[in-house]
Amino acid sequence: MIGQTRHSQNTTRYAKDLLDVATMPRTQILALIRLASTLKKKQQRGVPHRLLGGKTLGLLFQKPSTRTRVSFEAGMNQLGGHALVLPMGDIQLSRGETIADTARVLSRYLDGIVIRTYDHKIVEEWATESTMPVINGLTDHSHPCQALSDLLTIQQLKGRLKGLSLAYIGDGNNVANSLIEAGAKMGMRVVIGCPSGYQPDQRVIDRARIDGQATGAAIEVVENPMVAVKEADVVYTDVWISMGREREQARRLRILSPYQLNHRLLQRARPDAIVMHCLPAHRGEEISAEVLDGPQSVVIDQAENRLHMQKAVLTQLLTCKKGAR
């Protein structure tokens, strides 16, 4: 969900909150990709782009983070604003203050907030109660900033999005959900290769197939990983034991072991296929070292683009004219 919408000065419709990709207009996603590309070029050329001077962003993380936290914090600083980390143990939420009271108060202090938590309903409640933009930094349901950054990476390396085939192999988790939503918006073919019981959210799949009718996208879920990666332009995987699933480790390793992204599996994809992983990675589990560190891997470029896309998201959301709630 992307909360209510509001208008920028050029009348383009923007979302107040970024909670997932599903309800983002395709035009907004394209605008973010263009803006992220522009900001990336400016940084590479050393051109200042302090577009958020005087703005303050809050970072409230209930899960560990490297790329999400650092890219948002560094990005906000590069844009001329300030990022304020809010450790859960240091604020009154940890002592029973309601999300509603916290959100209303922080909306008077901050210009936006990034929340990384477990239950997706938490970020939805924040969006309902806040008058500042709320950005989903990751929930158990979705990881929209990752998927948007991945679109930027694929666009830059492949020159297009529409018509490309993306194969995601392994656990149908939050990243898989967001990639399905993003691929549907962009007219891609997204094939999820996963074992029974580990499929992505069926509601996400159903919604994406509806979106795909307008864009020419195709969403498929198969159990055979060899079938999933056949002729893929992009082969993607993620960890098998997500945060909060540690007690399931032994069972997950056993069931998902046939889904390792290795050289044998990669040979089924197109010769020029790129390999993606949102990191952190566990070599020898969901992906072999030879593939993760091999010539077709773009994981470091992919991680870098988190910074540029996060800056685009912040610029778009924090500079729009706020509408009445």
**Catalytic annotation present for 116:** yes
Which residues are CB-contacts of 222 (< 8 A; sequence separation ≥ 6)? 191, 192, 193, 228
CA atoms of 215 and 283, how far apart (whole Å) = 36
CA atoms of 91 and 237, how far apart (whole Å): 35
Of 169, 186, 256, which is closest to residue 220 (Cα–Cα)? 169
146 is catalytic: yes
**CA dist 91 to 87, 103, 209, Å?**
7, 12, 41
Number of Cβ within 10 Å of residue 283's Cβ equals 12
Of 67, 78, 111, 116, the active-site residue reads: 116
Residue bearing tokens 């392994």: 170
Active-site choice (146, 155, 302, 316): 146
Per the residue annotation, which of 238, 252, 277, 308 is the catalytic one? 238
**Shortest CA distance to 49 belongs to which of 321, 324, 314?**
314
Q: Is 278 a catalytic residue?
A: yes
Cβ–Cβ < 8 Å for 122, 17: no
**From 67, 277, 306, 308, the catalytic residue:** 306
Torsion angle (degrees, nearest 10) of CA 119, 121, 122, 127 = 150
How long a stretch of residues is the chain?
325
Active site residue 238: yes
Report d(CA 213, CA 230) in Å as an integer: 23
Any idea which residues carry the catalytic annotation? 116, 143, 146, 238, 278, 306
